[in-house]
Amino acid sequence: MSTVGNSTNIFWQESPIGKTERQKLLNQKGCVVWITGLSGSGKSTLACSLSRELNNRGKLSYILDGDNLRHGLNKDLGFKAEDRVENIRRVGEVAKLFADAGLICIASLISPYRKDRDACREMIQNSSFIEASYSKPGFTVCNPHSVGS
């Protein structure tokens, strides 16, 4: 038994199908591509282009767009510092699940605090986390790794 929050009866349920089996089925390794940048910098456009190219190469991806997530999962959050921290934490947790499922998860959102991105990198295996800081007209890959290999 573990303690999560105030509950004392929450258990982690292991899946009978492991990450390796899912990756073999999809013929790809799950990972997170974290695209960060200022509002209007083109993060979503880059995410969509990357997703299209991966699809063209037979790779399964999913975009977690910051604005889209604020319509649902994060609609209860504002833009104060503590809300931004929680926003990034939630996106990181979802991205972690997608990567574990074998998908190439493209997270595209304003994430201004390095410590929050580092926390996401820690919850996701470092080799499965690729960070790119995007601003017109170019971008910088902060943690280059082979995507989807």
State the CATH number of the domain containing residue 105. Answer: 3.40.50.300
| pLDDT value at residue 3 | 54
| pLDDT value at residue 139 | 52
Residue at 42 is within a domain: yes
Task: Report how many domains make up the chain.
Answer: 1
* Exposure letters 23-33 (e unless 16+ CB within 10 A, then b): beebebbbbbb
Better-predicted residue by pLDDT, 125 or 82: 82
The per-residue pLDDT for range 19-72, each reduced to its tens digit, is 899 999 999 999 999 999 888 888 999 999 999 999 999 999 999 999 999 999
Residue at 139 is within a domain: no
pLDDT confidence tier of residue 106, bands split at 50, 70 and 90: very high
Give the ranges where 7-142 is alpha helix by DSSP (H): 19-26, 43-56, 66-69, 81-100, 114-123
Note down the domain range covering 123: 19-134
Q: What is the pTM of this model?
A: 0.83
> What Å distances lie between residue 113 and 86, 96, 116, 120, CA to CA?
12, 19, 5, 11
Residue at 79 is within a domain: yes
pLDDT confidence tier of residue 2, bands split at 50, 70 and 90: low
Q: Average pLDDT of 6-31? A: 89
Q: Give the HSE-up count for residue 16: Cα atoms under 13 Å, Cβ half-sphere.
A: 0
Phi (first) and psi of residue 116, to 5 degrees: -70, -40
- Mind telling me the catalytic residues? 111
Decide if 128 contacts 29 (C-beta within 8 A). yes
- Tell me the percentage of the chain whose pLDDT exceeds 90: 66
